Structure 1
Amino acid sequence: MDWFTAAVVGAVGGASLEAVDVIKAIKWHRQMPWNVQSDTIDPPQRRANVRPQEEHLPAPGWKAYWVAGVLRLLVSGALTGVVAATYPQSTNPLVAFLIGLGALSAVQQVTTLVPLMVKNAGRAALGGVVDVAQQQAQALQQSGQPDPGQSNGAVPGPQTGSPSAGSPRPDTGVAAQQDPAGGGGAA
């Protein structure tokens, strides 16, 4: 199934979920959902998703419901098309329809988790930088060299009392380990 066909099937899944929402609203309020005002909801109770003073807002109207429906179709089709383009061999019409059904909910969940993921990723990256810096400082202290972060104004150089002073260290880099014939193996 190509990505465009999968996107259309996903949009049909989103439309079917929108139709279920409209059917539930008509059954509950006995009128079209865009004509339901928040103060006419029976029983009038405080819901968790209603902010203070929102109980007396006017009905949203049919234009708002059409915009919401079109946006749901767009989200369902786009997410299904992306999944189908990523995994073309495993996308069939049933999978595309189910992705379209759950697309809006999945996007809502991801958007609530993104600030947490960014915050934790920043902490993890900062923690990794701090760990590397601490390991480097410990390695320098164990080798007897002064910590570059704690310089006293002296220019770092070979220690005069060390046994390796004045004698060059052998080069153990990658270039020194390569075969002169170009084989790339260790010598």
Structure 2
Amino acid sequence: MDWFMAAVLGAAGGAAMEAVDVIKSIRWHRQMPWNVQSDTIDPPQRRSDVRPGEELLPAPGWKAYCVAGVLRLLVSGALTGVVAATYPQSMNPLVAFLIGLGALSAVQQITTLVPLMVKSAGRAALGGVVEEAQQQTQALQQNGQPPSPGQANGALPGSQTGSPPPGNPQPVTGVATQQDPTSGGGVA
């Protein structure tokens, strides 16, 4: 199946979800969804997507519902077409229709995760740069080359300063060495 036919089937899946939403609205409010005003929802806090102050807003009208429906069809068709173009060997009509059904929910979930992914990727990239610089500094110190002028004693920003040069060991002053073995854990 080519990507265009898959996109058409995905748009059909999006149309099916839009039809389900209209049917649920008609059954719930006993009128067409574009005629439902926020203050007719009894009680106003029944829906989780109603924000404070939205209870008195006018009904959206049929034009707004048409725009929302067309956008849902575009999202469903586009996502299904992209998946079909990426994985053409595993695309069949049923899979294309199912992707179209869940396309809007998938895009909503992905858009909530994008800021977290960008922040994590930035931190990972920064961590990789710092680790690479530390490894280069250690390699230079082991080869006997002096560090560059910006790196006093081979220290990087955020690394431990005052580390001994190779070949000059310093005494270990950790907590374990300060304990008195006879008194059961006191500090010497």
TM-score when normalising by structure 2: 0.77
Match of 1:126 in 2: 126
Match of 1:150 in 2: 151
In the alignment, structure 1 residue 97 sits paired with structure 2 residue 97: yes
Match of 2:50 in 1: 50
Query: Where do 1:1-187 residues align within 5 Å?
Result: 1-45=1-45, 47-148=47-148, 149-150=150-151
TM-aligned CA distance change 1:27 to 1:48, over 3 Å: closer
- What's the secondary structure of 2:39's corresponding residue? helix
Q: How far apart are 1:143 and its partner, in Å?
A: 2.1
C-alpha separation in 2, matches of 1:136 and 1:101: 52
TM-score when normalising by structure 1: 0.77
Q: How far apart are 1:47 and its partner, in Å?
A: 4.6
C-alpha separation in 2, matches of 1:96 and 1:47: 31
143-152 or 114-123, which deviates more: 143-152
C-alpha separation in 2, matches of 1:84 and 1:58: 40
> Sequence identity of aligned pairs in percent?
86
Question: What are structure 1's unaligned runs of at least 5 residues?
Answer: 153-187
Question: What are structure 2's unaligned runs of at least 5 residues?
Answer: 154-188
Q: How many residues align?
A: 152
CA-to-aligned-CA distance 1:16-70 (integer Å, 9 cap, x gap): 0000000000000000001111111012226543332112111111100000000
Q: How far apart are 1:142 and its partner, in Å?
A: 2.1
C-alpha separation in 1, matches of 2:21 and 2:46: 21
C-alpha separation in 2, matches of 1:107 and 1:151: 50
